[in-house]
Amino acid sequence: MMTHLFEFSVMASRCSIRLAGIDETTAQRWADQAISEVRRIEVKYSRYRADSMVSRLNAAAGQAARVEVDEETAGLIGFAGELHRASSGMFDITSGVLRRAWDFRSGRLPSQAQIESLLPLVGWEQVEWDGLALRLPQAGMELDFGGFGKEYAADRAASLLQGLGATSGSVNLGGDLRVLGPQPDGQPWRIGIAHPRHPGQVVASLPLMEGALATSGDYERFMVVDGLRYCHLLNPRSGWPVAHWQSVSVSAPACLAAGAISSIAMLLGSGAADFLRGQGASWMAVDADGRLQCSDGLDASAGATGTEDRTIEAA
């Protein structure tokens, strides 16, 4: 049977679901359910919606009472706390407030005074969280699940599809990808990794039978000022963009893990290699000079090959 591709847009990203080994009618029905699940997560956790769980928590910043959350949200908040500890504080879901200083469409750098005015609002250690309810102690503080929202949604959609019976295909949410199983003939899918400096090209490709691949990079949202690139990945301590890597790609059993590891690696800069080696995941990174580095034993090939589910840039 042929492969069925369903393309859609969600979380400001180009997305797709690929299903193989089943008939078109079944594929359409399953894909519709998976897309609905992704949209549910977007609605629930988008900071752009006043009725989302994230907006509810942020609106209560500075108030005396803690806000109770449901089990799903509690799991994600707990995961964010674990990432903060694992990254020595570099992965911090309170750092989204720094976007108030950074407008990457303007082509203008913020002043140091602008950044310093926001830094007191950054710091997971300030958050009062008991596993059931949360309080942001300062007015103006925010939580932002953007650092793992797409990856979580990809895992949820993949789990739903596998529960329905899907055994071949993939879920790709803006380049964060979860493979459901090998091609119908038993061969792995060839996954292209976006080139961080040449849009529409791949820097390398990896074979995946199952599991996930996620990439963090300096090419999704950025501006160039006086010949220097400034990207959207911000150091929560300084408020300024990181600059050591062009991109870091990680393969892991789940997209949530792959995305978290790749994001932390970008934030850690020169300390990323030691961190990556300690995670037990396969990885590939492009440094600031465009040199490729890979974990031992990674089966990566340069450039594009014929049958790929290409990772794409987030919009």
Q: What local confidence, expressed as pLDDT, does residue 314 receive?
A: 31
Q: What local confidence, expressed as pLDDT, does residue 303 receive?
A: 59
| pLDDT 10s digits, 225-265 | 999 999 999 999 999 999 999 999 999 999 999 999 999 99
pTM: 0.93
| pLDDT 10s digits, 14-30 | 999 999 999 999 999 99
User: Would you say residue 251 lies in a domain?
Assistant: no
Q: What local confidence, expressed as pLDDT, does residue 1 receive?
A: 57
User: Beta partners for 179?
Assistant: 170, 211
Listed in sequence order, the residues at least 6 apart from 271 whose beta carbon sits closer than 8 Å to its beta carbon are: none
| 238 vs 54: CA distance, rounded Å | 24
| 256 vs 265: CA distance, rounded Å | 14
Total domains in the chain come to 1
Segments forming the whole domain that contains residue 76: 53-143
| pLDDT 10s digits, 49-84 | 999 999 999 999 999 999 999 999 999 999 999 999
CATH of residue 68? 1.10.3980.10
| 130 vs 292: CA distance, rounded Å | 42
SS3 of residue 118 by DSSP: helix
Q: Is the pLDDT of residue 307 over 90?
A: no
User: Would you say residue 81 lies in a domain?
Assistant: yes
Q: What local confidence, expressed as pLDDT, does residue 2 receive?
A: 85
| pLDDT 10s digits, 254-302 | 999 999 999 999 999 999 989 998 998 899 999 999 999 999 867 666 6
User: Beta partners for 192?
Assistant: 205
Cα separation values, 252 from 44, 48, 93, 106, 209, Å: 26, 30, 22, 36, 12
User: Would you say residue 96 lies in a domain?
Assistant: yes
The answer to whether 3 and 18 are in contact (CB under 8 A) is: yes
User: Would you say residue 109 lies in a domain?
Assistant: yes
Q: What local confidence, expressed as pLDDT, does residue 281 receive?
A: 87
User: Would you say residue 83 lies in a domain?
Assistant: yes
Query: Mean pLDDT for the chain?
Result: 93
* Rg, C-alpha atoms of the chain: 19
User: Would you say residue 260 lies in a domain?
Assistant: no
User: Would you say residue 201 lies in a domain?
Assistant: no
Q: How many CB atoms lie within 10 A of CB 278?
A: 9
The answer to whether 47 and 12 are in contact (CB under 8 A) is: no
User: Would you say residue 129 lies in a domain?
Assistant: yes
Closest CA to 67 of 152, 141, 117: 141
Q: What local confidence, expressed as pLDDT, does residue 256 receive?
A: 97
Helix (H) or strand (E) holding 77: helix 71-86
